[in-house]
Structure 1
């Protein structure tokens, strides 16, 4: 099961683009932060919690907070890496754990290297609001590495046809989209396209479209600016009774239950279900 990363807030404690010398080492200590190091060249030997690891190009090191750490270089193959020491908390200010393996071989990922370059520039320039910007970049890095390591479907989601499909659906969710229409855009047979989509997203095209529409509907309802009927129509549901039933089934409460507390119930918000009962 992939942990929920949505509430994690990273804070950079220290950053270095490390180019090791023959005598480089990290003295033994128990670190009060999380050490995330991405090796982009060479090798080194780490002692992490009493276990010896030889790390190499393409390895991602994730050392938990309050862990014993020491390291020495391998002189014949000097290591180059990006190293960030971070504190991680949830939205309530409590310390959070980063549930990643200590060593993961992810290879050389250009877009990930670009993120570390961005931190490098901000860390050195220290312009107005640089820590806020670094925090945002760290969030992107944590997302990318967790997606690479923990998300079993990440490779299939890299398919440009699926990525473009998701982008298109996000912009046209209210339109009468069908799997045949989307398959034609990529010159694919609908059955093959449907198989690609399910492999990438873990659900069928129709299931994803309904989920997308209901998420948009939830967001509109929470604003308190639209009636239930308006939300249903704007989110691609021509049958308001079907929308109400489906919303309650998937979200656990009727659409009107999403309205902010300060909104008084209006007549147009009441839906009479078959049999004369109110929603």
Structure 2
């Protein structure tokens, strides 16, 4: 559910548990939210997140009534308990791109044209993606651009024969130095990262059906099926045959 909430001075939400996730962007004014008994004062520019299962209560500031965009949503399937990695209140989270997306969502939701729910869902997922990207970049250290380039090359060419020397030459580094730099930035060696990318793609192809283990191994850059099976089981915890559709 989406609400363009323009509050009257006496607006409030009665105290009650919620079985949905509440993601609210404050556009104007102020309000006091109580999430699991703890008070949070929100104002223009803030984002509030209360996960499913929270006990929620709220009331607006009479002198400065709140105007907000609120998304009340549930994850599909059995994953509704999964929480987004946001604080209850995040300051200054409104970027131009996010606000543009929210306005697009509002127009789609209110217009209710054919397929509007599908379009609205896609825009909302983009909003969450942007929020997660911001949170990730704030919490994670920046990856050296040369390492990022090598990672992108591996993901684009995972089925090809690759060596540390070839990867290093592509970014103008000594192979030994690239190995150290890659490990420092990612926590993996180049070989470990390459195997992870190859196995993830192999799992996806196997689960889609139409290919046997030998064919998938060859497609993902492994010419020894036994070695592929060992690497796959080491990373995934089960043999590639278990991923066959």
Residue 126, structure 1, aligned to residue 112, structure 2: yes
| Secondary structure in 2 matching 1:85 | strand
- Structure 2 equivalent of residue 256 of structure 1: 241
- Structure 2 equivalent of residue 71 of structure 1: 59
The CA distance in 1 between the partners of 2:172 and 2:228, in whole Å, is 32
Question: Do the aligned partners of 1:106 and 1:149 also contact (CA within 8 Å) in 2?
Answer: no
| Secondary structure in 1 matching 2:99 | helix
Alpha-carbon displacement from aligned partner over 1:92-125 (angstroms, at most 9, x marks no partner):
4x74353543112364434333432331231233
- Structure 2 equivalent of residue 59 of structure 1: 46
Question: Do the aligned partners of 2:29 and 2:66 also contact (CA within 8 Å) in 1?
Answer: yes
Out of 140, 143, 161, the position equivalent to 1:176 is 161
Shift in Å, 1:230: 2.1
Alpha-carbon displacement from aligned partner over 1:110-163 (angstroms, at most 9, x marks no partner):
433343233123123322111122122223333443454478754536x76665
Alpha-carbon displacement from aligned partner over 1:148-186 (angstroms, at most 9, x marks no partner):
4478754536x7666555444332111123444444444
- Structure 2 equivalent of residue 85 of structure 1: 72
Residue 102, structure 1, aligned to residue 88, structure 2: yes
Shift in Å, 1:247: 1.9
Relative to 1, partners in 2 of residues 1:30 and 1:204: Cα closer, same or farther, differing over 3 Å?
A: farther
Relative to 1, partners in 2 of residues 1:131 and 1:30: Cα closer, same or farther, differing over 3 Å?
A: farther
Gaps of 5+ in 2: none
Q: Choose between structure 1 and 2: higher helix proportion.
A: 2
TM-score, structure 2 length as denominator? 0.75
The CA distance in 2 between the partners of 1:47 and 1:68, in whole Å, is 7
Relative to 1, partners in 2 of residues 1:182 and 1:137: Cα closer, same or farther, differing over 3 Å?
A: farther
The CA distance in 1 between the partners of 2:189 and 2:100, in whole Å, is 34
- Structure 1 equivalent of residue 192 of structure 2: 207
Shift in Å, 1:42: 5.4
Alpha-carbon displacement from aligned partner over 1:213-243 (angstroms, at most 9, x marks no partner):
0112222233442233222221111333321
Out of 7, 12, 15, the position equivalent to 1:30 is 15
TM-score, structure 1 length as denominator? 0.67
Relative to 1, partners in 2 of residues 1:128 and 1:161: Cα closer, same or farther, differing over 3 Å?
A: farther
The CA distance in 1 between the partners of 2:166 and 2:152, in whole Å, is 15
The CA distance in 2 between the partners of 1:196 and 1:235, in whole Å, is 25
Gaps of 5+ in 1: 1-12, 261-279
- Structure 1 equivalent of residue 102 of structure 2: 116
Relative to 1, partners in 2 of residues 1:98 and 1:243: Cα closer, same or farther, differing over 3 Å?
A: closer
- Structure 2 equivalent of residue 4 of structure 1: none
